[in-house]
């Protein structure tokens, strides 16, 4: 599997700056991807037992998108992914090594799923102008990501719009799929305008995990202090406690 030493970090950061996204293939083996898909479905069933929604009207057009929220509480494998050395390397380089974790959830686009509303993730957590990257997604591709199975549609270069008023009315005509082989991570600047694609296959699921990271001064989307159980919190390293905002002091590490 791709080791952190073999990653051309300068090139990855260059693509994020230039295009707004980049792909690092081979971060997970096929076996690891398959195991995570299995863990994801088990976690989805557990989330349902706990009464967490898997379909949010207004977020997705129909229930063929299966959402799994609160991944970190559902299985330790997901916490490990958040702290994965490759993710840490890239996020530290792009946002700074004092980054925090804003959210971690899954979107399984099943056959029949359609696009959600066009948005950028940074616009959901910070007001314009969006002059610099304050957030980014590390998207764990547990299957191949291709147009037919609902690959994330994005507008390359759209991370440079500082205000919504700068965007042409026809911008959605420029959407293209973010393609990647299974086992990759796809990286996306938080300012990139995007949406989920439509899964037009007969029988292929598109399970993606969205690890959303931000600058430490941006309020997190998910309240991990409230959402994680005591045992899960206890198992977290000091580093992860800081990144998840579990300590008493939120804006200084090691306090």
Contact indicator for 254, 242 with CB cutoff of 8 Å: yes
Residue 113 binds to ligand AKG (criterion: CB under 6 A): no
Pairing of strands 206-214, 135-141: antiparallel
Considering only CA atoms, which of 245, 243, 240, 247 is closest in space to residue 223? 245
Residue 199 binds to ligand AKG (criterion: CB under 6 A): no
The residue within the footprint of ligand AKG, chosen from 43, 107, 135, 143 (CB under 6 A), is 107
Cβ nearer to ligand AKG, comparing 180 with 208: 208
Distance CA 199, CA 129 (A): 33
Q: For the window 65-104, what string marks contact with ligand AKG as x by the rule CB under 6 A?
A: ----------------------------------------
Cβ nearer to ligand AKG, comparing 210 with 242: 210
Within 76-155, strands assigned E span: 100-109, 135-141, 153-154
Cβ nearer to ligand AKG, comparing 68 with 109: 109
The residue within the footprint of ligand AKG, chosen from 90, 142, 155, 208 (CB under 6 A), is 208
Residue 64 binds to ligand AKG (criterion: CB under 6 A): no
CB of 139 to ligand AKG, least distance (A): 8
Residue 44 binds to ligand AKG (criterion: CB under 6 A): no
Distance CA 160, CA 132 (A): 9
Could you please report the per-residue DSSP string of 219-240? Answer: PPSS-HHHHS-HHHHHT--HHH
Residue 152 binds to ligand AKG (criterion: CB under 6 A): yes
Residue 149 binds to ligand AKG (criterion: CB under 6 A): no
CB of 152 to ligand AKG, least distance (A): 3
Cβ nearer to ligand AKG, comparing 70 with 107: 107
By three-state DSSP, how is residue 64 classified?
Answer: coil
Considering only CA atoms, which of 197, 192, 193, 157 is closest in space to residue 180? 197
Q: What is the DSSP letter of 29?
A: -
Please report, as ranges, the residues that interact with ligand AKG according to CB under 6 A: 107, 109, 152, 194, 196, 208
């Amino acid at each position: 599997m791709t080791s952190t030493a073999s990653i051309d970090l300068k090139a990855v950061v260059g693509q994020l700056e230039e295009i707004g996204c980049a792909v690092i293939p081979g971060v997970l083996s096929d076996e690891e991807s398959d195991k995570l898909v299995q863990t994801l479905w088990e976690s989805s069933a557990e989330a349902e037992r706990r009464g967490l929604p898997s379909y949010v009207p207004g977020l997705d057009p129909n229930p063929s998108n299966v959402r799994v929220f609160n991944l970190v509480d559902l299985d330790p494998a997901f916490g490990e992914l958040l702290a994965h050395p490759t993710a840490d390397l890239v996020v530290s380089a792009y946002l700074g090594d004092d980054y925090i974790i804003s959210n971690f959830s899954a979107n399984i686009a099943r056959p029949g799923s359609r696009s959600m509303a066009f948005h950028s993730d940074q616009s959901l957590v910070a007001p314009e102008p969006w002059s610099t990257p304050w957030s980014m997604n590390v998207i764990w591709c547990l299957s191949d990501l291709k147009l037919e199975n609902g690959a994330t549609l994005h507008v390359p270069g759209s991370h440079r719009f500082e205000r919504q008023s700068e965007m042409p009315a026809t911008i959605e005509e420029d959407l293209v799929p973010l393609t990647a082989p299974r086992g990759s991570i796809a990286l996306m600047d938080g300012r990139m305008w995007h949406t989920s694609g439509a899964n037009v296959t007969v029988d292929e699921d598109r399970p993606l995990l969205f690890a959303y990271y931000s600058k430490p001064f941006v309020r997190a989307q998910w309240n991990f202090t409230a959402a994680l159980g005591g045992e899960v919190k206890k198992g977290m390293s000091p580093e992860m406690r800081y990144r998840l905002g579990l300590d008493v002091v939120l804006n200084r590490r090691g306090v």
